[in-house]
């Protein structure tokens, strides 16, 4: 286990290193002089010279990269042109919204995907299964922003049950403010719940063909006990690992949802920064999301091995 964990962590580190080179290159390949890119169009010649010297842009590119990565490791992701503030603090401002949105989305995904996937698997081959599986495929084919706009139209504009946009922090207005995230999290959950539903179903069907399930049935154990204790427990292993990937992917999928609902999260920050040409912020967000994405994948992979010792043999 430990040798595997070390090896896996090593691969992640190498991938992260290679990804960091791409992210570093980003600011050098966007059209225009990186100095103008960093300072914006309104920079004076003095500022340009000062920054060029400060960043060491006259030095070889490899040294520039090492300087940049050194700053990143110290938590210095540069300064936002638009906010005139450190990129890390700009990202931190959006973290609360994004983290809560992702968590709430995962709750919906679990509540919808797992039980319905179970029902489809237990009723395998019936019209109910076909209907549920078809509905899941339909849900996976719907753009999240379209679902979002309809939720706004029905539950905010017509019924007035939930706010249509924005999100004031729960630290200022209390947990009541979570109601701002109900519609966005539902929109974001739709395609992901469909994925988990299909996965739960497929995984349960795989497990139900195992010998020990047949043995359990032959011993006369009640059907529902076989499903819960023998099939579900083992089937959920694969589902749990998919949870990790889904959660990690939500960070980037939220870009569209946060824009529809005007949520002050990291996703909307990316879109606005693209429109404002605030390149340091775009670079910083991409870096943060890639790091989180790789770390979650690493944790999921390792915990999967801890939960299921059989995997090690394969």
Partner 1 sequence: MSRDGAILWLKPFIARPIALLGLGILLGTILAATFAPWLAPYDPYAIDPSIRLTPPNALHWFGTDQFGRDTLSRVIHSARMALLIGSGVVMFALATGVPIGVLSALFPRLGHLLMRMVDVLMAFPSLLLALGLIVVLGPSVANAILAIGLGYMTTTTRIVYGLTLRLRMETYVEASRSMGAGTAWLIGKHILPNLVSPLLVQASFVFAFAQLGAASLDFLGLGAPPEIPSWGNMLAESRTFITRAPWLLFFPGMMIVATAFSLNLVGDALRDRLDPRFRQLFSEKG
Using CA atoms, how far apart are residues 264 and 83, in angstroms rounded to an integer?
Answer: 14
Q: Which of 39, 72, 100, 152 binds partner 1 (CB under 8 A)?
A: 152
Using CA atoms, how far apart are residues 115 and 217, in angstroms rounded to an integer?
Answer: 22
CB of 101 to partner 1, least distance (A): 15
The dihedral through the CA atoms of 261, 269, 254, 259 has a sign that is positive
CB of 249 to partner 1, least distance (A): 6
Residues 267-296: x where in contact with partner 1 by CB under 8 A, - otherwise, as a string: ---xx--xx---x--x---x--xx--xx--
When asked if residue 240 is in the footprint of partner 1 (CB under 8 A), the reply is no
Using CA atoms, how far apart are residues 45 and 42, in angstroms rounded to an integer?
Answer: 10
Q: Which of 55, 119, 149, 170 binds partner 1 (CB under 8 A)?
A: 149
**Which of 285, 263, 276 is CA-nearest to residue 101?**
263
When asked if residue 311 is in the footprint of partner 1 (CB under 8 A), the reply is no
Residues 242-271: x where in contact with partner 1 by CB under 8 A, - otherwise, as a string: ------xx-xxx-xx--xx---------xx
The secondary element (H helix, E strand) that includes residue 287 is helix 279-307
Token pair 């919204």 in the structure block, residue? 97
Token pair 């029905």 in the structure block, residue? 154
CB of 16 to partner 1, least distance (A): 7
When asked if residue 174 is in the footprint of partner 1 (CB under 8 A), the reply is no
CB of 140 to partner 1, least distance (A): 7
Please tell me the count of residues contacting partner 1 according to CB under 8 A: 51
CB of 53 to partner 1, least distance (A): 26
Using CA atoms, how far apart are residues 138 and 145, in angstroms rounded to an integer?
Answer: 15
CB of 125 to partner 1, least distance (A): 13
| DSSP-assigned letter for residue 12 | H
Strands of the chain (E only): list them: none
Select from 27-35, 65-73, 91-99, 207-215 the region that touches partner 1 (CB under 8 A). 27-35
Token pair 């949105």 in the structure block, residue? 101
């Amino acid at each position: 286990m430990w040798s595997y964990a070390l090896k896996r962590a090593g691969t992640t580190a190498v991938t992260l290193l290679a990804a960091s080179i791409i992210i570093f290159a980003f600011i050098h390949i966007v059209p225009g002089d990186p100095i103008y890119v960093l300072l914006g169009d309104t920079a004076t010649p003095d500022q340009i010279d000062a920054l060029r010297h400060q960043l060491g842009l006259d030095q070889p590119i490899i040294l520039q990269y090492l300087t940049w990565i050194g700053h990143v490791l110290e938590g210095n992701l540069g300064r936002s042109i638009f906010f005139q503030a450190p990129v890390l603090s700009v990202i931190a401002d959006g973290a609360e919204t994004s983290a809560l949105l992702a968590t709430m989305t995962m709750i919906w995904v679990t509540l919808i995907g797992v039980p319905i996937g179970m029902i489809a698997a237990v009723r395998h081959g019936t019209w109910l299964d076909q209907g549920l599986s078809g509905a899941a495929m339909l849900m996976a084919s719907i753009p999240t922003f379209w679902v979002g706009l309809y939720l706004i139209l029905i539950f905010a504009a017509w019924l007035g049950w939930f706010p249509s946009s924005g999100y004031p922090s729960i630290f200022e207005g209390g947990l009541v403010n979570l109601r701002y995230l109900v519609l966005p999290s539902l929109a974001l959950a739709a395609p992901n719940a469909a994925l988990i539903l299909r996965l739960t179903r497929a995984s349960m069907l795989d497990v139900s063909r195992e010998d020990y399930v047949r043995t359990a049935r032959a011993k006369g154990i009640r059907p529902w006990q076989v499903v819960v204790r023998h099939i579900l427990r083992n089937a959920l292993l694969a589902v749990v690992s998919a949870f990790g990937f889904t959660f990690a992917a939500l960070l980037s999928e939220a870009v569209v949802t946060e824009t529809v609902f005007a949520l002050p999260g990291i996703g909307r920050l990316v879109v606005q920064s693209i429109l404002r040409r605030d390149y340091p912020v775009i670079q910083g967000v991409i870096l943060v999301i890639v790091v989180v994405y790789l770390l979650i994948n690493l944790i999921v992979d390792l915990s999967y091995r801890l939960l299921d010792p059989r995997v090690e043999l394969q």
